[in-house]
Amino acid sequence: MKGDYQDLVDEISALLGAPATLENRDFRLIAFGAHDSDDDLAMDPVRTRSILTRQSTAAVRAWFEAFGIARATGPVRIPAAPDAGVFRGRICLPVRYRGIVQGYVWLLDRDPGPGPDALAAAMEVAERIGILLAEEAKAGADLSREFRTVLTAERGWQQDMAVAALRMALGPGTDGLHAVVCVGPWAGEAPASVPGTAAVCVAPWPGRVQDDLRGSGTEAGYRAGSTAGSAAGSTGAGPAVDAAGPSDRSAGQALAVLVRLRSAEVLAPAVGVATRLLAQGEASARGEVRARQGRATGDDRGAGHGPVAAPGTARTAGPTAGIAEPRRGLAALADAWVEATAAARAAAAQPRFGPVAQWSAIGPYRMLAALAAADPLGDPATRTLLGPTHRELARTAELFLDCAGQAGRAAAALGIHRQTLYYRLARVEQLTGLDLDEGEDRLLLHMALKAARLHG
């Protein structure tokens, strides 16, 4: 299919005597025509950036769309806009299929530009491109259904049938290496096409994500979180919502992506796909934050629901991504999806993993994710502590355990007197019935507090 697009773009370039560029309706590059190296004007900054990064900036997109290209049925001439980075005028040939825009062919305008007959011939080629784009989008939608079924079907014959259907839809190469990527939470539908992927779909995003703390993850962050909690009272009602994000994110959904790999040791293609999708998802996340802040009131900002968030470390407010261990073939995609979602949730709970976390790099969260999934309510001994009324105590307990039980370090990190620390730890023991002088009790509490980061 890629070769077909290139041939058609080259045909338009020959008809109009200028290098053409084809982008989909999301302004992502599909193909471009070669330009004469002696013509320096053919490579203005916008065209260069589009070819190098395979996408246009928001300012460029807004300028072009202001001329009605999404509604146009014929060529549209667009003047230069230096403020938006558009230093030369453009001719846009809208690519449509059955009245629906599928993409755009772009050419730098010249004086004199192409005549009506040449433009009419180029529009006929654009119509053929529109048919190809529509067919590809339809095939992608079919793959989306098949891929989602593989990830969500019950184990046994139902999943086996789904794998067989996806294998048939994907065609050659299904026995090669694949990596599953999870980007979540994800608002809206799956993109019509994601360059560099074999399949993409929207799947359930497991659970709620709490955003109670805004610290940096350093000791200064611990102290900042403690100060916020102390201001709410010793019961730990939790800090109010701030500009960083809401106090919780709804369960919603996640984007699942299947990426073909050449080597199990080289995950760069999967990382690249995840990074590009995160950039798209961040805009949706910011919109959700604004909507929730608009609905928030002083009475419900600190109330919270469900388990306490991870003490001492800020959660990532926007979407995060996880990459599963590579698999050969399609039979184990459901297992890979579990790994990818766990890695994405770990990235949300621990910013040190980065916005894109690999399953192999999340350490104890591999086991904690399985524990949280098996028992979403947590251990009975710790449920009261993990409730919304004891956030400050939970914060204190986790930091104390993170410091290997060293009271001096924990008190300094929290910015409290050591006697205050001892008082809080005694309250933790009363609430849980655990003895913090016993190693197994400490282990149970520490696992419960860490699992609360991933709890849905």
- 93 DSSP β-pair partners: 105
CA gap 235, 392 in Å, rounded: 7
The two tokens of residue 223 are: 């102290």
Answer whether 176's CB lies under 8 Å from 358's CB.
no
* Residues contacting residue 165 through CB under 8 Å, at least 6 positions apart: 146, 149
* Residues contacting residue 266 through CB under 8 Å, at least 6 positions apart: none
Residue 324 has what pLDDT?
95
CB burial of 165-188 (b: ≥16 within 10 Å; e: otherwise) equals: bbbebbeeebeebbbbbbbbbbbe
CA gap 247, 300 in Å, rounded: 10
Average pLDDT, the chain: 76
Q: How far is CA 277 from CA 78, 144, 184, 274, 440, in A?
A: 29, 16, 10, 5, 42
Q: Where do the DSSP E strands lie in 139-263?
A: 177-184, 199-204, 209-210, 248-249, 253-261
The two tokens of residue 146 are: 């098949």
**DSSP state letter for 216:** B
Q: Enumerate domains of the chain plus CATH numbers.
A: 2-136 (3.30.450.40), 139-170 (no CATH), 177-366 (no CATH), 380-454 (1.10.10.2840)
Percent of the chain at pLDDT > 70 equals 72
Q: Helix, strand, or coil here: 86?
A: strand
Helix (H) or strand (E) holding 31: strand 29-32
pLDDT tier at 285 (50, 70, 90 boundaries)?
A: low
pLDDT in tens, 372-384: 666 656 678 888 8
Q: For residue 324, report the phi and psi dihedrals to the nearest 5 degrees.
A: -80, 165
pLDDT in tens, 317-361: 678 999 999 999 999 999 999 999 999 988 988 888 889 999 999
Q: How far is CA 282 from CA 66, 205, 341, in A?
A: 24, 16, 17
Across the range 370-395, mean pLDDT stands at 80
DSSP H stretches of helix in 350-456: 365-374, 391-402, 407-414, 418-432, 439-454
Across the range 289-309, mean pLDDT stands at 42
Has residue 107 got a pLDDT over 70?
A: yes
| Identity of residue 359 | W
Helices (H) and strands (E) in the chain, counts: 13, 13
State the distance between the two ends of the chain, measured CA to CA, in whole angstroms: 41
Q: For residue 182, report the phi and psi dihedrals to the nearest 5 degrees.
A: -115, 130
Has residue 456 got a pLDDT over 70?
A: no
| Identity of residue 125 | V
| Identity of residue 325 | E
**DSSP state letter for 254:** E
